[in-house]
Amino acid sequence: MLSPSAPLVLLLHGGLDNLSGKTGLALLRYRPGPILAVVDPAHSGADLEAVTGIHRAVPIVASMAEALPLLKAQADGGERAVAVVGLAPSGGILPAEMGGDLLLALQAGLNLACGLHSRLGDDPVLAAACRGPGQWIWDLRQEPAGLTVATALAADLPCRRVLAVGTDMAVGKMSACLELAAAARRDGIDARFIGTGQAGILIAGQGVPLDAVRVDYAAGAVEAAVLAAALGAGPASLLLIEGQGSLCHPGSTATLPLLRGSQPSDLLLVHRAGQQWVRTRTGAAAVAIPPLAEVIAAYEALAALGRPAGAAAPKPRVRAIALNTAGLDATAAETALAECQESAGLACDDPVRHGGSRLLRALLHLPALSAP
């Protein structure tokens, strides 16, 4: 629904320098289309790269009112701009202070896109302001229509299907998939990314909002998204399925429907360097992340179940590890990568720091590249 060429304004009130803004930060890092402004009063006037480390020339302004002149400067482009809620706060509830900027965006003729549980289209004030010809509010976190229970149909697809799985939530599963997709396309491979969370869907323009789907239909929703993305794909094509949650996290339910619906041919484990405990809510019980060998064995065992009888393809294996080394300097990152690779006995790299080429070669069973 979101055109790749539509100009965006990202609403990141208070989220530009922390994980609550991960949706907007992902768009800044990976969306190829134009982003005209970021709205974050806490960092108005600051340099985007200095705040986020993302090399992209986008001004930071304090309000939608300050962003509108930047939109008018591009008005001759013809395509309607979209104001995108870039926050992913705990609980998925829209911050009250963002309401005025959303209303002003609609009054100025922009479309709205939001991936929170708060549905903007149900707000009577915002709905009344959305009256221009062709103007819309896209609440993407909605269950798709016409879902059915999964039937393992994706197992018969000729293309490779790589599912990212993690040791915790928010460790970089989407980023790893997008970096692998970019590396594959540079090599002339037909690579297709399937978004399953709000940031991935906004970047891809479509996908399945898995956390909005009833549990009985969750695997079926993944299956439908995979089958749709695989139309026309051949044996040399690569589907990269964005992972959600983790088997290690006591509050996560997303991993099993992803495994069942996608019927992966390969798995990519994503882990944050040095992380030993699952990140849970304040006051929750401490939950340790098991040794990676145990995590790998658990994912492979589950992926081997629920497959069609007589399936010719080998059972899915974890082929490589994407290690999130954000926050480490270059020397510490290289040490962490070497230790992880040695202990797990698998190819290991940080695709955000180094690009996805080395991990891609491991997934495709090609000779390894030399260390970067």
pLDDT of residue 369: 62
- The CATH number of 8-139, from 3.30.450.20, 1.10.150.120, 3.40.50.720, 3.40.1230.10, is 3.40.50.720
Q: Are the beta carbons of 254 and 244 closer than 8 angstroms?
A: yes
Fold annotation for 153-363: Rossmann fold (3.40.50)
pLDDT digits (tens, 9 = 90+) for 182-236: 999 999 999 999 999 999 999 998 899 999 999 999 999 999 999 999 999 999 9
For the stretch 269-295, pLDDT in tens is 999 999 999 998 777 889 999 999 999
Question: What mean pLDDT comes out for the span 56-84?
Answer: 87
**What CA–CA distance (Å, rounded) separates 35 from 258?**
31
365 or 339, higher pLDDT? 339
The pLDDT value recorded for residue 258 is 98
Q: What is the DSSP string of 225-236?
A: HHHHHTTT--TT
What is the rounded distance in angstroms from the CA atom of residue 338 to the CA atom of residue 318? 18
Residue whose entry in the numeric block shows the structure tokens 């149900």: 122
CATH 3.40.50.720 location in the chain = 8-139
Give the residue range(s) of CATH 3.40.50.300 domains in the chain: 153-363
List the one residue out of 230, 262, 224 whose CA is nearest residue 243.
Answer: 262
**Rounded mean pLDDT of 312-339?**
95
pLDDT value, residue 71: 87
Compute the mean pLDDT over every residue in the chain, rounded to the nearest whole number.
93
| Residue 165: both structure tokens together | 């799985």
> What is the pTM assigned to this prediction?
0.92
Give residue 75's pLDDT.
56
What is the share, in percent, of the chain residues with pLDDT greater than 70?
97
3-state DSSP assignment of residue 24: helix
What is the tens place of the pLDDT at every residue in 122-168?
999 999 999 989 999 999 999 999 999 999 999 999 999 999 999 99
Residue pair 28/38 in contact (Cβ under 8 Å)? The answer is yes
Residues near 228 by Cβ (< 8 Å), separated by ≥ 6?
none
Give the pLDDT score at 371: 53
Residue 336: predicted pLDDT: 98
Q: Is the pLDDT of residue 370 over 60?
A: no
How big is the chain by its Cα radius of gyration, in Å? Answer: 21
Q: Is the pLDDT at 90 greater than 90, yes or no? A: no
What is the C-alpha separation between 194 and 319, in angstroms, rounded? 19
Residue 203, sorted as left (phi over 0), alpha (psi -120 to 50) or beta, turns out to be alpha
